[in-house]
Amino acid sequence: MQRTIVTDTSFLSRPSISADPADPLDAAIAQDLKETLAAHREECVGMAANMIGEPKRVIAFVDEGLGSAITVMFNPQITAADGEYDACEGCLSLHGKRHTPRFRRIEVDYTTRKGRARHATFADWTAQIIQHEIDHCNGVLI
């Protein structure tokens, strides 16, 4: 189900619940996140669950490495990063664009929708999207 985008910065600034990690039982949140992202595909390439009102560590993003398919990650954590640069980003939940530091290459530990632990490396645009969404999970706004 497509959800309304949260723009309340006090809600978005709160870190998502890490004491209650996301798991496959949160599949409905993941599906809503995918459908909401798909509905905003013209203006958005990634979303975190708090953007649809869910304080869970779940992100969805357009993965250029998979032919622009929407990928979902549960409890993503960046474990390594290199190649820092200055990015200028917008956000569906905020007005305008802002500068923020990003890394060209990141490694991420996460869980799939089926509960499988994964470790993957991402670069360039996809890495930037993932960093933005993990920031949302951490209550960090650009």
To the query of whether residue 84 is one of the catalytic residues in this protein, the response is no
Is the pLDDT reported for residue 116 higher than 90? yes
pLDDT at 24: 76
Average pLDDT, the chain: 94
Confidence of residue 19 (pLDDT cuts 50, 70, 90): low
Return the structure tokens found at 11.
């809600």
Assign 78 a pLDDT band (cuts: 50, 70, 90). very high
User: Among residues 35, 54, 64, 133, which one is catalytic?
Assistant: 133
Residue 1 binned pLDDT confidence (cut-offs 50, 70, 90): very high
